[in-house]
Amino acid sequence: MAGDASKALSNDVLWGGGRSPFSISYGKMMMWFFLVSDALTFSGLLTAYGFVRHSTTEAWPIGEEVFRALPGLTGSYPLVYVALMTAILIFSSVTMVLAVEAGHRMDKKGVIKWLFLTVLGGAFFVGSQAWEWSHFIHGGGGYITTNAGVKYWVHNDTHDTHDPSNAPGFHLVQADPRHYLIPAEGAHHLDHAESLKLWSERANYVDGANMIHNEYGPPQYANFFFFITGFHGFHVFSGVIINLIVLIMVIQGVFHRRGHYEMVEKAGLYWHFVDLVWVFVFTFFYLL
């Protein structure tokens, strides 16, 4: 039995080819297809995060209480650092679109200038994320859980987390059971002797964050933080490398000889996508 594949068809019923029905080059279309599939991956991750957060019966941490530190400063600056990272990434997206615009005018100098700023912004973002990971992993002092299941924040003057009970100013503060990060209603700073007694009777001591437990909330919270921001951070890192390679090719004049700067546009699509994903991560991980 002959199938369609072996049957000779009249050319009148076939699309003759010769031009793209989309008026778009092959490379750009394939970049869009890749971005759609990559967007599905990120959507899957964020939806999984939403699923876990929505179904859990435990208290879930809130972004403005977890992320409120700035490098080199003490005190509380809720979301300021993340907002700064967002601003850097959006700004590097703007310089990228300006590089693409310069490419459309065959302005080689303009492309170099804006693409260089884009690479710089991306590198800044990756560095900021490294600091945030480091801060998230080291934590703010940690808490102990007593045999009765009560949680106490560990305080000391030097932020020593290896041997906190011997550090100066060591004392405990009872934590809100429904809410890891704030003190319990009417909780006071326990005195040194009482703190030492509770410390020696502790069931466990959780400090900072790793894949098994963390001081912010349920284990899945840190796991999703590492996976989602890590996967996004890896995209930014590879975007910086791609932009750097394109920048070197622009400086060498490869695209000027070719007669168009479409490679900048394709790298730009990827770079804007990275920015787009961050807009969603920012909302669903940090704000909500």
Partner 1 sequence: MERDDIIEYSLDAHHSEEEGRRIRRKIWMVTLFLAVVTTVEVTLGAYWKEWFDASAWNAIKWTYVVLTLVKATYIVMSFMHLGDERRNIRAIILLPYALFILYLVFIAIFESNYVHQIWVRFL
Instruction: Summarize as ranges the residues that interact with partner 1 (CB under 8 A).
Output: 18-25, 28-29, 32, 36, 39-40, 43-44, 47-48, 50-52, 54-57, 63-64, 78-80, 82-83, 86-87, 90-91, 93-94, 96-98, 100-102, 104-106, 259-260, 262, 265, 268-269, 272-273, 275-276, 279-280, 282-283, 286-288
CB-based contact 230:239 (threshold 8 Å): no
Distance CA(171)–CA(155), nearest Å, equals 5
Q: How far is the CB of 286 from partner 1 (least distance, A)?
A: 8
Which of 107, 111, 101, 114 is CA-nearest to residue 249?
111
25 or 146, CB closer to partner 1? 25
210 or 220, CB closer to partner 1? 220
170 or 273, CB closer to partner 1? 273
79 or 126, CB closer to partner 1? 79
Q: How far is the CB of 1 from partner 1 (least distance, A)?
A: 33
CB contact burial 161-199 (16+ within 10 A = b; e otherwise): beebbebeebbbbbbeeebbbeebeeeeebeeeebbebb
20 or 238, CB closer to partner 1? 20
The one-letter amino acid code at 273 reads F
Q: How far is the CB of 121 from partner 1 (least distance, A)?
A: 13
DSSP conformational letter for 174:
E
Q: How far is the CB of 96 from partner 1 (least distance, A)?
A: 8
Runs of H (alpha helix) within 139-183: none
Distance CA(235)–CA(213), nearest Å, equals 26
97 or 184, CB closer to partner 1? 97
Q: How far is the CB of 103 from partner 1 (least distance, A)?
A: 8
Distance CA(174)–CA(184), nearest Å, equals 6
Which of 197, 201, 176 is CA-nearest to residue 187?
176
168 or 259, CB closer to partner 1? 259
Q: How far is the CB of 61 from partner 1 (least distance, A)?
A: 14
Q: How far is the CB of 165 from partner 1 (least distance, A)?
A: 34
Secondary structure of residue 82 in the 3-state scheme: helix
Distance of CA 155 to the CA centre of its chain: 29
